[in-house]
């Protein structure tokens, strides 16, 4: 491995910590890594991608160190975890994308399921109330299909499929984090659902674009947390979805 790629691992406390956890226990499950590190599902997959030459999975789907991994850990001397520094811009971006909330939501599979159901129920009721359909990040008032079906299929499920495909292309990682992506996408639609409740008011058109932009920002944050796609690529995906949504809005 080249020196610059090796430094990507040794200079990342999170990746070193994952190596330490596996080295200390011999083999660990994904859940154990998540519990010990406190990282989101997407972040763990992202770090494991960088560690693919040093970490392998056994027949029981538990993570173990390869010979390269063992030698690297010995070389590092089991160095302790040092908190990674984050600048003010990254902290601000983390707040805007609701990263702290998304991390809490995606920590437990049970919470993911409950949050997804509640968020989709909220959206379905909102679109029924306004008699609107949802297509990605747009909610045209012209009803074409049942509002509940549109919320679940042309809104949530369609966005999930596009996000999953984008994640596979950009990260080249194996399948994982789908349940977390379900939940974060459902939550990212909340601003749109709020707009649906307000759509019958006179000033509703004024808040549409800000709500769409907010949903796009949340969608980027959710993709980053659940699948480990870096924020730059996540925002590119959100902009693509937002563009498609606006196009659909003007053509339906």
pLDDT digits (tens, 9 = 90+) for 19-63: 888 888 888 888 888 888 888 777 788 788 888 888 888 777 788
Tell me the average pLDDT across 59-87: 68
Task: Using alpha carbons, select from 134, 99, 105, 55 the residue that is nearest to residue 225.
Answer: 99
More confident residue, 30 or 11: 30
**Helix ranges restricted to H, the chain:** 3-10, 13-25, 30-37, 41-50, 67-76, 88-96, 99-105, 109-130, 147-149, 158-171, 178-188, 190-198, 204-227, 231-251
Round the CA-based radius of gyration of the chain to a whole number and report it: 20
Q: To 5 degrees, how large is the angle CA 215–CA 222–CA 96?
A: 60
Q: How many CB atoms lie within 10 A of CB 24?
A: 11
pLDDT in tens, 228-240: 777 888 999 999 9
Task: Using alpha carbons, select from 184, 124, 129 the residue that is nearest to residue 160.
Answer: 184
Phi, psi of 202 (to 5 degrees): -65, -35
Q: Up-side HSE of residue 30: CA atoms within 13 Å toward CB?
A: 17
Contact 16, 33 (CB under 8 A): no
pLDDT in tens, 106-120: 777 888 899 999 999
Task: Using alpha carbons, select from 62, 75, 68 the residue that is nearest to residue 26.
Answer: 62
Domains of the chain: 3-76 (1.10.10.10), 88-251 (no CATH)
More confident residue, 64 or 171: 64
Tell me the average pLDDT across 81-91: 50
The pTM score is 0.72
């Amino acid at each position: 491995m080249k020196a610059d790629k090796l430094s990507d691992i040794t200079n990342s406390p999170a990746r070193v910590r994952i190596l330490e956890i596996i080295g200390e226990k011999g083999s660990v499950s994904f859940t154990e890594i998540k519990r010990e590190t406190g990282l989101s599902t997407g972040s763990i997959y992202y770090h494991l991608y960088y560690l693919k030459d040093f970490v392998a999975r056994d027949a029981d789907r538990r993570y173990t160190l390869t010979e390269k991994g063992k030698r690297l850990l010995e070389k590092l001397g089991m160095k302790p975890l040092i908190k990674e520094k984050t600048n003010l811009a990254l902290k601000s971006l983390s707040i805007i994308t609701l990263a702290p909330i998304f991390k809490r939501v995606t920590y437990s599979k049970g919470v993911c399921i409950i949050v997804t159901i509640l968020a989709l129920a909220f959206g379905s009721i909102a679109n029924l109330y306004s008699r609107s359909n949802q297509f990605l990040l747009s909610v045209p008032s012209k009803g074409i299909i049942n509002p509940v079906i549109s919320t679940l299929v042309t809104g949530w499920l369609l966005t999930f499929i596009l996000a999953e495909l984008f994640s596979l292309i950009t990260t080249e990682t194996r399948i994982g984090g789908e349940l977390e992506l379900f939940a974060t996408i459902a939550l990212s639609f909340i601003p749109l659902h709020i707009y649906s409740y307000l759509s019958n008011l006179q000033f509703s058109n004024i808040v549409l674009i800000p709500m769409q932009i907010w949903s796009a920002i949340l969608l980027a944050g959710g993709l980053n947390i659940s699948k480990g796609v870096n924020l730059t690529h996540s925002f590119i995906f959100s902009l693509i979805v937002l563009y498609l949504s606006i196009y659909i809005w003007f053509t339906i």
